[in-house]
A and B are shown apart, each in its own frame.
Chain A
Amino acid sequence: MLKKLPLLLLLQACLLLAAQPVVTGTITSAADGTRMQGVAVAVKSTPAGALSDAQGTYRLTLPPGADTLVFSFIGFEKLTVALAGRTQVDVSLQPQDIQMDEVVIAALGIERETRALGYAVQEISAGDFDKARETNFIQNLSGRVAGLNVTATSSGIAGSSRVTLRGERSLDLDANQPLFVVDGLPITNNVHSNGGSSIYQEDLPVDFGNGAAEINPDDIESVTVLKGASAAALYGSRAANGVILITTKSGKGSPGIRVSYNTTFTRETVLRLPEYQNVYGAGLDTTYYSYYDGPEGPSTADWGENRGPRLALGKSYIQYGSRLLDNGEYEYLPWEPQPSNVRDYFQAGFSTSNNLSVSGSSDNYTFRLSYTNFYQAGMVPNTNLKRNYLAFSSGLKMTDKLRINASFNYLNSGSDNLQSSGYGAQSVMYSFIWWERQAPIDRFRSYWVEGLEGVQQNYHFSWADNPFLIANEHINSNTRNRVFGNVAATYQITPALSFMLRAGTDFYNDLRNFRRPWSTVYMPKGRYREQRIAFQELNTDFLLTYNKAVSDNWKVTGLVGGNRMRQESSELTATAWQLSTPGVYSLNNAEGAPQVIDQDWQRELYSLYGLGQLAFKEQIFLEVTGRNDWSSTLPPQNNAYFYPSASLSTVLSDMFRLPEVVSFAKWRASWGRVGNDADPERLISYYNTGLIPGSVTNNRTLFNTDLKPEQVTSVETGLDLRLFKGRLTGDLTFYRSISRNQILETTLSPATGADLQLINAGKISNWGTEVTLSAYPFKSSRGLTWEVTLNHFWNRSKVLELAEGVENHIIAEGPDNITVEARVGGRMGDMYGEGFVHAPDGQIVHEDGLRVIDFERQTYGNYLPDWQAGLLNSFSYRNVSLSFLIDHRQGGIIYSYTHVTGNEAGSLVSSLPARVSGFVSPGVIQQPDGSYTPNDVSPASDRDYYGYTTTSLRPNLELNSFDATYTKLRQVILGYTLPEEVVSRTRLGSVSFSLVGRNLLLLTRVPNIDPETSAVNGGGAKGTVVPGMEVNQLPSARSFGATLNLTF
C-alpha cells in the first residue's frame, strides 16, 4: 500500500495540472442583498474549491467531470447548484434558520439526531486540539464541557490528569472517572504509578500518566461527552460516570487522495514558582553562617533552613563550594540574594509534533493512514517524553449489504527520564524548599566528588540529594507499546434490519526502570527496580438493529446487543535494594536477593442489552434500554444484575406555536440506573508476602464474600433552546443522581486487626445544573463573525448514609493525616485535619506567643469547587481567526504542603513576619478566669512559630488550606489560512498557520502554587491521584507555540 502511494499522488497532481475550464460568479445574501465574502465554493466529489473575495465574486478552475457546485458559509444554508455547462453561476444564500438535521455521535457510535435524544450530550469539535496541543490529552477538555472537571497533578511531563463528570459519585475516587471510548470500543484509562506515598522519603512516586493521556489529538475528528448514566446505559457499568466518546478521523469526505501535514512547535516555561524570600540566607540565626566548622563557629549548614544572616549587606561566608585555600582556610563567598536561583534550575521545555496523514475515499471505501511523532523535553533538566503514533482506519463496502470498518492504532511511547514528585529527597521541589536562598544554582552543577564519579556524591546536605543529581542520575525511564483498535462487520439483512459483529482490543506493555546511584542520601548503595506491566482488554460485540417507519407518524427503532469483555493484567516488580557494583543497573547486580512482587489478575464481564425507540411525527421520542451483566468479580449469588433506563424527548417548537424568536425548543427528561461490579480478586482473603523470606502476613484488607453490585440511579431534565434563527442557543440541564451499595474499602482502626474492609455501603446524592450558551453577537456577510460559547456548571452532593454503624469513611489520605472524608450529612469532598483553638469571637487562642493547636479533627473546607465556567470567544475575519478560552473555578480549598514546609524552612516570603523582633501573632490569650485578652506575647523563636521546633503544623488543615479559586487564560489561538487564490496557484490544497498559547495567565489568591494541582500516590488503596492536596508538586507550564497545517 505504502509503495503505491507516491504513484497515486503523482497521478493526482497530474490531474490537477491539466488545463481545465473555469467558472466564475457572484454571491449575495438573500437576507439583505449584500455581497458575501469568504463563502466556500466547492466542486462536488473533488478536492477543487475556492473562496469568494471582498466583492463576493469567485473564480474556480473545474476539474474534469465537474458537474455540481456547493456553496457554504457559516450560518447560511448550504446551496448545491448543478453546473449544466455554465461558466458563470451567480447565487444568493439563505440565512440558516436552524440546523434541523443536526446529528451527534451518541452511544454505540451511532449517529443520532440531537432532537431525538432524551439526555444531555455535548460535542466538541476537535478543530484546535492538534494546534493547542496538551501532552496529556485530557487537559485539552478543560473548560470546554459543562459538568466536566479536570484535575492535573503537576507531577512531571507525563503527569496524570483526573477527570470527573457531574461531581464525585462514588466513595472510591479511582472509580469516579468516565469511560473513554474510541471508535466504539472502550480503552483503558489506568494509572500505574510506582513508589510510595507523596511524602515517603525513601520511595517517592513516579507518575507515568493515565491511559487516556496518550490519545493523539492529530487523529481526533470529534469528542462527544455523554454525561448522565442513562446516556451510557448501553456501555455498561464503567459508563456509570459518563462516557467520553472519541471518533477518530477517517477518509470520509475527502474524495480521491488527500495528504495532510501538520507540524507544531511549542515552548514551555514555568508558570509559577513558590514565592521564595530574598532577605535572609541559609543558616540558623542571623549572627553567622559557616558551611564547615570555621572561625565563626561550628557548621550551621546541615539544617537547610534560611534563617541565617541578612543578605545584601556586602558580607561573605564559608559556603558550599568554598575552595580550600593554600593557607588551609576555606574561601569566603559573597552573601547576596539570588532571587532567580530556583528559576535558573528549570529550563525552557519544548515539544515538537509532526503528523503526516493520507486519506481518501470513493463510493466503496474510505481510508486514512496517519503517522505522528511527538517529542517533548521537560522543564526539569534531562527529562523527556517520546511518542510515535501510527493510526489506520478504513471502511470497505464489500457488497451492497456488507460493510467492514477497521481502525487500528499503534503507539510506541516512552521516556528517558521522568521525575519523582512529592516531599522527599528524590524530589527537586523538596530540595528547593530546604535550599539556600543565597546560593547561585551553578554552584551545584557538578555533584560528584572528584575522582569518585558515579560512586560518591559531593554532599551538600546529608539528607537531601543535589537537584542536578536528581535530574541526571535518578533515572525513571520506560518503554511502552500499545495497540488499540477494532474490526467491525455490518450486514444489512433487510432494509430495516442490520447485524454487526465487532471485536476490539486495547493492549499494552510497559517496561520501566528506576535507577538510583550509589551515595544518594536514602540509598547509600543505590537501588535498581524494574516494573513490567502487561495489560489487555478484549471486547467482542454483536448488535442487531431494526429501524422502520411503521406509518407516516410512527417510527420504530430497536436494537439488541451483547458484549463479552475480558481483562488480563500482569505486573511484576523486582527491586534490588542495594547494588554490589556502582553504576551497574541490573537485577543481577543486587546485593542480597532482589525482592519480587508478582501480581496477576483477570476478569470477565458478559452482557446482553437492548434498546427500543418509538418516534411520533419526529416530535416525540420515547426510548427505553435495559442491560443485564454477568460479572466474574462478584460472588455467585450476586453476579448477575439488570439495569434499565428510559428517556423522553419532545420538540416543543414543532408541537406548539411558539413566539417567533424561538426557532427551536426541545424538552427532554431521562431516568437511568447503572450497576457496577467489584475489582477482581476481592472476595476471598489471602496472605501477603511477609517482611522476610519464608514468611507471610495477614492481608491488611478484609475481603468480602458477599459483595453486591453497586447501583447509580440518575434523573435529568433539560431544555434545548435556539433563538433568533440560531444566533443564540442555549442548553440547560438539571440532574440528580443517587448512588447506593457502593463497593468501597472503608478504613478501619488498626486495633480491629486490619486497615481496610471491603463493604457495600453508602448512599450519595449528587445534583447540579449545567448551562451551555452560545451566541453569535456579531456576524456580518462581509465575513466578520464573533462567536461566544459559555459553559457553566455546579454540583452539590450529600452523604446520606454509610454502612450501619459507620458515620465516616476516609476517601483519600494525604500527608500528615490530612484526609478527605465522607461523613453522614456532610458533602463529598470535605477535608479533615487539625486546626487552631478559637475564642468564641473566632480569634485564635495563643499560649507563649504561639497559636494553640486543636487536635480534634474537623473539616475546614471542601476541595470541590462551588462552580466552574469556561468562556470561549472566537473571531474570524476573512482568513484570520482568533479564539481564546477562559477557565474559571470558584471556591473549594487546596491544602498546600509547600506552604507549611516552606515556612518551617524559612524559605518563603510568608516565613518573614515572625522574624521581626517584637512580632506578636494576632489573636487572644485565655486568662485563668476564662476571659480573653489580646495576645501581647512574642514567640520565643520564629522557628517555634512556624512549627519547626514545636509541635508540627503540617497536620494543620486550617493553617495550610487556601481558597482554590482561580481564573486561567487557558488558550489563545491566532490562525491564518492562506487565501484560496494564492493556494490555487500552488500544488497545495490548503495552508494554514496558527500561533498558540496555553495557560498564559493565572489569577488566584493561593500563594506559591498553581491551585490546579493534586498529589499523586504511588500505590495503596486510597486513591492514586489525591485531589485537594498539593505536596511539593512540580511547577505547571505556560506554553507558546506555532502550528503549520498543509494539505495536498
Chain B
Amino acid sequence: MKKILHLLIVCLSTGVLFLTQGCDDYFQDINTDKNNPVTVDPGIVLRNALFKTARDLQFQFWDFDGFTMQYYEFITSASASQYNWSPATGERIWYNTYETLADVEDVLRKSTASGDDTYRAAALILKAYLFSLLVDHFGDVPYSEALQARYNQQFFPAYDDQTAIYRDLIAKLDTANTLLSEDAYFLYGGDEGFFEGDPVLWKKFANSLRLRLLMRVSEVASFNASAEIAEMVADPATYPMFESNDESATYHYSGTIPNVNPVYTYRDWEYESNVPTLEFINRLKALDDPRIGAYFWPTPATRGTDSLSYEGIPTAITGDSLSYYSASNLSVSNQDILRQATTPTWLMTYAEVQFILAEAALKGYISGSAEAYYQAGITAACEQWEVTDITEYLASADVTYAGTLEQIITQKYLALYQIPGQAWAEYRRTGYPVLIAGPNASNDGKVPQRLMYPSLEQTLNGASLQAAIDRMGGTDDLNRTLFWVP
C-alpha cells in the first residue's frame, strides 16, 4: 500500500515537472510541420508565380477572352459572347489573379527586405502586369491594402480608385527599370521558362509593359502619357524595349507534366468545343490573311486536300440553332501549334509594341513613321506564327497602310489572337475592330465594359465592395466604362 502510494507520488510529481518545464519545447517540436519549408528563397516562389500566371492566362484566353472578342464561339452551350454576364463570369479571373499576386507580393517583400534588386524588379513587373489586367477587367479593385493579411492582418482591403492604381503601376515599372542594371543577375536562379532568367529581357519587359499602360491611359488628361511615351522612345538606352519576337514576354513550358501548356491537357471534345467564329474566319478570308492556316485547321473533310476550307459558326446565335453545328463541318484551332505540351503562352509580344508605336506615331506622340511601325507589327505578328512569306499580304489593298486608327487596331486585333486580356481592352479604348453582337446576345447587343465583382465578395469584403460600387455609380454595372475609355 505504502509502496504504491510512494510510486504514485513519484509518477505524479515527475509528470507535473515535465508538464511545467520540458513540455513547451517538446510540444513545439511535435507541432511543427516537417513536410514543408517555413523559409524559402524568393526564386522558387517566383517560379510558381510565373508558371501560374501563364497557365491561368492561357486558360483565360480559351474560356473568356476568345469568346468575348469573337475569336471563338463555344459549340456546346452559351459562352461569354452572349454578354449576359453574371458575377460568376469573372470569378475565375479574380481568384486566379489574386492567388498569383500573393506569391508575387511574397517575392517583393523578401527581395525588398534583403535588398535583392533583381527579384524586386521582377516582382514589381509581374505585379504591375497582373494588377493592370485586374483593373482592365473590373475597374476599382483592392490594391494598396490588398495582399496584406499575411503581414499585417488586413482582412478587409479597401478597393482603390482605378486611376490611382494605374498611376502607381506605371511608377512601379519605372522603378523596376532603374533597378535592373546591365549586370543584374538572379541570385537564386531565374526561371528557365521565362526569358531564360535573363534580367535584361525583364528590363525590356518592364518598359514594353509601361508603354502598353501609357497608351491605354493616353486619353486621360491627368496622365502625361504622350510625353512619357516620347521620352521612352527617344532614349532606348535608358528604356530598352522588345526588339524582336525572341524577346517577347513568353512563357516556355518544359513539356513534362505538370509543366505543360494547359490547352495540351484539354480533352478532344473540350478542345474542339472552341470553334472559330464565322466573323473571325470571314475577316481573315476577306484579307486573304496568310495566318489563317496557322491559327486554324481546315474542316476535317478538307484537311490534307488541295481545297482547304475554313468554317466557323456565328457568334452568339441562339442556343437552339447553335446546336446544329457539328464539329465535323467546322475548323478548330491549329493543333500542331496550339495543343502541344510546349506550346508557349505569350504574355506580351514584340508585335504589340510595334502596334502601340504605330498608334503613337499616328497620333503624333513620337516622330517615327507610323507605317513602318505598322508594317513591323504585322511582320512580327506573322513571323510569330512562322508565317514568313507576307510581302504580297502587306501590299494587298486592305492591308496597305491607310493611316487610320481603325486599320492599326484591327491589325492589332488579328495579332492579339491567343494574347490574354488585350483585345477586349483595346476594343473598349478605341472602339475597334467593329464587332457586331450575335443575334442571341443580351445587354442590348453591346460588348460589356467591365466584369461584375464575384458574388462572394459580398460576404467576404462587403463594406469595401459597397464603397467601390457606390463610387462607380451605385450599381455593379457591366456597362460602366473604365477611366481610360475616352
Contacts and interface: CB of A to CB of B under 8 A. Distances in A.
Contact of B320 (A491, A633, A941): A941
Contacts of B33: 601, 681, 684, 686
Contacts of A689: 36
A807 interface: yes
Interface stretch (A69-77, A479-487, A750-758, A924-932): A750-758
B255 to A, nearest CB: 10
Interface stretch (B46-54, B367-375, B386-394, B416-424): B46-54
A799 to B, nearest CB: 14
A1042 to B, nearest CB: 48
Given A696-B40, A747-B456, 11 more contacts: A462-B267, A592-B256, A636-B24, A687-B36, A692-B48, A694-B47, A697-B48, A749-B142, A751-B457, A752-B149, A757-B155
6 contacts: A633-B27, A691-B52, A694-B47, A696-B36, A751-B457, A855-B452
A289 to B, nearest CB: 12
B462 interface: yes
Interface residues of B, number: 88
A817 B455 contact: yes
A416 to B, nearest CB: 28
A751 B142 contact: yes
Interface string B446-486: 00000010011111111000000000000010000000000
A470 B148 CA distance: 45
A604 B27 contact: yes
Interface of A: 284-285, 293, 297-300, 302-303, 462-463, 491, 493-494, 499, 521-522, 524, 542, 544, 562, 577-578, 591-593, 595, 598-604, 606, 608, 630-633, 636, 639-640, 680-681, 683-698, 700, 702, 747-755, 757, 805-808, 810, 816-817, 819, 821, 832, 834, 853, 855-857, 940-941, 943-944, 948-952, 955
Nearest to B85: A951
Contact of A522 (B1, B267, B318): B267
Contacts of A303: 76-77, 323
Interface string B141-182: 110001111100011110000000000000000000000000
A949 B47 contact: no
Given A493-B1, A494-B1, A577-B257, A697 B103 contact: yes
B157 A630 contact: no
Contact of A690 (B8, B38, B44, B156): B44
A297 B102 CA distance: 52
Given A636-B24, A752-B154, A696 B48 contact: yes
A499 B459 contact: no
Q: Which of A293, A694, A821, A834 has the most CB of B within 10 A?
A: A694
B101 interface: yes
A955 B38 contact: no
B114 interface: no
Nearest to B28: A636
A1034 to B, nearest CB: 25
B31 interface: yes
B186 interface: no
A750 B94 contact: yes
Interface stretch (B211-219, B325-333, B377-385): B325-333
Contact of A952 (B26, B48, B86): B86
B35 interface: yes
Contact of A598 (B35, B103, B268): B35
Smallest CB-CB A-B distances: 10 pairs: A949-B319, A462-B269, A690-B48, A753-B147, A752-B149, A695-B48, A632-B27, A751-B142, A750-B98, A753-B102
Q: Which of A293, A639, A689, A951 has the most CB of B within 10 A?
A: A951
Contacts of B476: 855
Nearest to A576: B257
A751 B98 contact: yes
Given A303-B76, A462-B268, A632-B31, A805 B37 contact: no
A73 to B, nearest CB: 46
B462 A807 contact: yes
Given A284-B320, A604-B27, A752-B157, A696 B4 contact: no
Contacts of B150: 685, 698, 702, 753-754
Contact of A595 (B1, B258, B267): B258
Contacts of B259: 692-693
A691 to B, nearest CB: 5
Nearest to A305: B323
B31 A298 contact: no
A950 B455 contact: no
B267 A630 contact: no
A751 B318 contact: no
Interface in B64-114: 76-78, 82, 84, 86-88, 94-95, 98-99, 101-103, 105-106
B32 interface: yes
